[in-house]
Each structure stands twice: as C-alpha cells, then as structure tokens.
Structure 1
C-alpha cells in the first residue's frame, strides 16, 4: 500500500475543519512539522493571574514524534516560568514581529519566534516558537507564513462565533464544546487534556480519527451559574441601555476574579457561568464568595447596589452540560427562595437534605 506525505492542501483542510479553537494549536504544530524540516514547534500562551504574567507551553511537538499538550485549566500557575524568564518571547510580543535567535553560531541551530495572534487581548497573547537545525530557507519561511495566516484567520472566525457580542465572554453555544474538551473528552492518539502526550509511534501523516469520548471522573472541575438578582425589575425600572452598561461592569469583575484560563460564559439576560478547576469544594466556594462580595460592594451607576445568586456543582463522570447546569440552577433556586445574594453548592444542599437527585433534562437546553 502506497502512502503519501500530507500536502499543504491537506493541512489547510484540517486547519479549517475545526469548531474548537483549542484544537487549532495542535493542528498548527503538526502541520509545520509535516511540511518543513524543522525540529520542534512550541506554542506558548501568556497566562495572567492577579496581575502576574507567566508562560504556559501549551503545545510542544518534536519532529521525532514526542511532545505534549497541556490543559490550561489544570496548569499550576505558580510553577510556570515568569514573563521575564523568556526575554526573546517578550521582545517578539513587544515588537509584534518575527525574532530570530542564533544560539550556536551563524550557521547553526536557530529558534524563530512569531506573535501567535494579532490584535487580541493581553490574556489571549502567545508566541509560536519554531526550532530549526540551521537557517530556514525561503521555502520553509513561506510555508510557515501561509499556515500561520490560515490559523489566525480561523481563530478570528471561531472567536466571533463562540463569544457573546456584548461582553466578549463565551456564549451558551460554545459551552458544549469547551465542556467536553476541557473536562470529559480524550481524543484518540492526541488529546488537549492535561499533560497529554503525543505517541511517538503515531504516523505524522495519519488521518486523525473521529473524536471518541472516553468519559472518566474529572479531577475537580466545577461549573457555576451566576444569576443577577431582580434583573428584570432593574431592567424595567432603569432601562435596557443602563443594564447593558452594568452587565459589562459585572463582566469586568468576573474577569478580575477568575484566572485567565478559566472559562467564563454569558448565557443570556441575567445569567453567567464559569467552568473552572479547584482542588476541593471549599476552594470553589471561597472563589465564588469572593466574586459575590466584589459585586455586592461595587458602586454601579444609578443602581448603587447589585447582588448575585450563585449555584455551583462538581462535574461528574458521564456528565453533560445540561445536567451540570440543571444542578447549579437548582442551587440558585434555593438561594433565591431564601433571600438571594448567597453562594450554594448543589452537593452541600443534598447533604443537608433539601432535595433529591436531579432529574437530567437529556438534550433539552435549559437556557433556550
């Protein structure tokens, strides 16, 4: 049986075939390794937490077949390299241009740094790092430029389709994809999950199989739903435009409370959601209490005081977004029947005997 190496067209098709932005990074790295003689590709993302900036090597692939893909949700932020530990990456972002580093003589190995994306928020910035055994020729540079442009264009298109136009947060439609890719889905042969390795025995030109969901008990992922208290009354009293302005302020508080790699959503109207990783229930409770307190103490224009009710749940084995949302909604229902402006864990309410097991809604979308 005759096998052929993947062509530029083959990889362009793969790059434009994704609905998940997380898989774009892996596809970009594989394309560059297949189509050029480079030795390694690293895609490094800038991570921001409480104004500290660090580097996460999200994708690292070698020409020999080794490498890893790291889930940002599970990265230990404090163990990552600090921003200034990688001065060449910093210079690449500051100059918004290619940086060439010759680290073993004029004709020896090179590292090329490229700004990963163009015109993005600080918390989405990153660097494409290409390691080569010698100076790249014009043909290799052209291929890198072409593939990189397609990657950028696809990133922009997918970002437009899966974000809420008012707040810039992820929208309800994107929750299904990010839920499975971050929490429950392990892809055949390569995975965007935490610490996943790329098998060295997998042929570089093999066509990836359809994603196969292998459910497992996820390690401490949580889904929280945040409801603005008395939202409709406030909207009727103060008007739609003012409520949009205050929705943006709530979004800012959420962005300042959560880490940049946590997934934040606007589900529509008065509802927000967060998908995040915490070691235990008490840590998740404390994080959400901090959010609730920050919103309560903020001086909103013309409204003065706004409060939120928050329900959250641990993601379970064989879970679905609808089932997890339903549990967090049950917790919010309890909060709103008992005074609003509180944070409640669904599991905590179960332990206290307030309601029985949740009846899953199947494919029904809670927020349609």
Structure 2
C-alpha cells in the first residue's frame, strides 16, 4: 500500500485538549438523535472530512436508517446539486446499499474495518460500530489514505465513550420493560416532529437543495395514534401480571416489526402505546395502523392466545402542535373505538366529518352522538 505523507492529525499533543472539549460537549446532550448527529460532526472534524454517513442496520433486515453529516460545500462546485448551509445533517430510511451490504458481510467475517482502495488516491472506509458483539451501525467516509493504527485506536476510544453515554441516554428515555420511548420524552418529541425530514433523494446518492427538501416535506404529514390493549385488566386478573407483562413485551415487539425505524414508538403508560409516524395522508396512516391491528389480532400469544387493540388517531396539523391538544384528539377517537366494539381504528377527523363527534370551537369541547 502506497504511503502518503499528509494525514489528518486526529491525535497529538496539540489536538488532545480539543478532543477532550469535544467529548465534554457531546456528553451535555440529552437527546439521542442530536447526540448521534453531534458524534458524526465530531468525527468529521477529527478526520477533516466533508461528509460522514452512519448506516444503522436492523439485524437480518434489508432496511437501515441512513444518517448523514455534511460540512460546508462550495456552491461553485455544482450549484444545481449542492446548496448547503455551513453544516447540514439529515436522516432517512432506505434499503441497505449493495456496497454497504458487501462491506457488512466482510466485517462480520473479519471484525475489522472495510477499506476499498480507489486507485491509490482515495480510500473508502466502512467502520463498524459493535453492540453486544453484533454490528449495530456502519460509519462510511473517504480519506486520502488508509487509517493507521493510532487513528483506529482513537476512533475506537471515541466510539466506546459514545456507546457508554448512549446507554445512559437510553435508560433515561426508554421504558424499562418494553424498551420503547417513555412518556417523559413524548412532549419533547412532539416539539421536534417538524424538524424530522424524509429526504428520499439522499437514498440514491443525490443531494437535494433546500427548495427540493421543502417541497418534499410539504407533501408529508404526521399522524399520532394511541393504541390500547383491549380487556387488559381481564388478562392480568385471569393469567397474572407476569403473563400481562409478557403481552406488553410482545405488543412492543409487534410494533417494532410493523412500524419503520424512523417512527416514534412510546409506551405511554399501563396498556397504552403511542406511535408518531410520517405519512402522506390520512388514508396512508389508516393503512399502516390497520396492518398493525390485524397482525396483532392474528398473533398467537402464549396462554392468552388472542389479544386485540383499539386505535384512536389524529393527523398532526401545523396549527395544532400542543401535545395536550394532539393527544386529546386521538384519545377521543380511541374512546369511540372502545365504546363501539373494540379491535378497530377511528380517526378524530373522520369522526368529525361523519358527525359522530361535534367540536365546539368556543368551548373547545366535544359532543358524542
């Protein structure tokens, strides 16, 4: 392998205080997604590279979540393609690209970073992030040289510290039984949903300018649904709380299998679960939620056998961003589903249209018919 004289100095006596400062800054963040973006930014600065990607793999699934951090790019390079601010980050759910899938297979065999030499001028590096001895994520970036042992050690130490801190964040934000997000993080998530983006163009290796991203977001909406296990008290009374907990665990498992990685899944308390998903319209949201309802009803739970869920949902509007307003609308639709047969889905907006609910604007109250 050809040696190169110019390498980014990611660890030396002069840089060490800067690295400590970066670590200190990272550990002040309390939001997992912000933390992961900041980690990518820190690594990009340490390696002196313009872009770094994180592919969060999902076991044997062909799906992954792509998270990208890009530093400033000169608009003269290609004004039609690049239109970045000083820094930009985004996420999207994609199929695992063939080159990343090839690298993943090699990494699982060797346990080492995957390095592809591009004619001795650029090196494409796929760096694994392990969790419980399994590859959890893959970091992808390019350098003018292969990583040396010292650089690999620095990255390993940085990722080790980041991994331990992320565990602490998870413990604070996730329900201990199911591993889903907890109620503590719900209101914060409502405030952040407008910042979530779905940049399909990134999946194909294309960079969208700000106008294209705005148009894409204008065509998408958000749906919030409350999902309540039908007759859960009877399950606890008849089979005991251990079996009841097993039902909660299996419901959370079905949720993880049937919703996308980017959807926000919460255990809201007791037998209630909440999902916030990005959808094109109400019909699309109904399709997604009804699939979950049907899969749950068809699942054979140990001892209990059949468990069903009732679902109340609402579309999140730009002028209705208060958590109490949004959850209140979904709760009214859930109440209607419970009172009218259970194991069904109702949307607040549809109940209003059909005259089953009447909202009084002045009093802010709801009448049922």
Residue 147 of structure 1 is aligned with which of 158, 161, 169?
A: 158
Q: Check whether the contact 1:224–1:311 (CA below 8 A) recurs between aligned residues.
A: yes
CA 1:198–1:176: 2 relative to 1, 3 Å: farther
Alignment-derived partner of residue 128 in structure 2: 115
TM-score in terms of structure 2 length: 0.76
* 8 Å Cα contact 2:26/2:39 also seen in 1: yes
Deviates more, 1:279-288 or 1:340-349: 279-288
Match of residue 66, structure 2, among 57, 62, 66: 57
Q: Deviations over 1:312-358 (max 9, x none)?
A: 11111141333221111110111111121110011101112223348
Alpha carbons 1:299, 1:305 under 8 Å: kept: yes
Q: What is the DSSP-based 3-state SS (H/G/I as helix, E as strand, rest coil) of the residue aligned with 2:62?
A: strand
Please tell me whether residue 9 in structure 1 is matched to residue 31 in structure 2: no
Alpha-carbon distance change, 290 to 42 in structure 1, aligned in 2, over 3 angstroms: closer
**Unpaired stretches in structure 1, ≥5 consecutive residues:** 186-191, 200-215, 360-368
Partner of 1:234: 235
Query: For 1:194-246, what per-residue CA distance to the aligned partner results, in whole angstroms no more than 9, with x for missing partners?
Result: 449899xxxxxxxxxxxxxxxx9893111111001121232122211111112
SS of residue paired to 2:357: coil
How far residue 161 of structure 1 moved from its aligned partner, in angstroms, is 1.7
Tell me what 1:223 maps to: 224
Once the 2 structures are TM-superposed, how far is the Cα of residue 63 of structure 1 from its aligned partner? Answer: 6.9
Structure 1 partner of 2:366: none
3-state SS in 2 of match to 1:44: strand
Q: Which runs of 5+ in 2 are unaligned?
A: 1-13, 75-83, 210-216, 362-369
Q: Deviations over 1:222-274 (max 9, x none)?
A: 11110011212321222111111122222222222222332211112110111
SS in 1 for 2:223: strand
Contact (CA 8 Å) 2:66, 2:91: kept in 1 or not? no
- SS of residue in 2 equivalent to 1:32: helix
- Provide the C-alpha distance between the structure 2 equivalents of 1:175 and 1:84, rounded to a whole number of angstroms: 37
Residue 357 of structure 2 is matched in structure 1 by 355
Matches within 5 A, 1:1-80: 7-46=18-57, 52-62=61-71, 64=73, 68-72=88-92, 75=93, 77=94, 80=95
Q: Pick from 110, 113, 117 the counterpart of residue 98 of structure 1.
A: 113
**C-alpha distance in 1, partners of 2:218/2:30?**
25
How many residue pairs get aligned? The number is 322
Of residues 169, 173, 189, the one that matches 1:162 is: 173
Is the contact made by 2:123 and 2:145 (CA closer than 8 Å) also made in structure 1?
yes
Deviations 1:147-181 (CA, angstroms, capped at 9, x unpaired): 32222222221122211111121211122333333
SS state at 2:254 partner: helix
The Cα shift of 1:16 comes to: 0.6
Greater share of strand: 2
SS in 2 for 1:41: strand
Q: Does residue 1:248 correspond to 2:257, yes or no? A: no
From the superposition, tell whether residues 43 and 113 of structure 1 become closer, same or farther in structure 2 (CA, over 3 Å).
same
Change (3 A) 1:69 1:194: farther
Match of 1:316 in 2: 317
The answer to whether residue 181 in structure 2 is matched with residue 180 in structure 1 is no
Question: Which structure is higher in RCO with an 8 Å CA cutoff and minimum separation 6?
Answer: 1
What CA distance in whole angstroms lies between the structure 1 residues aligned with 2:313 and 2:158? 41
After superposing on structure 2, the runs of 4+ consecutive aligned residues of structure 1 that deviate more than 6 Å are 196-199
Higher-Rg structure is 2
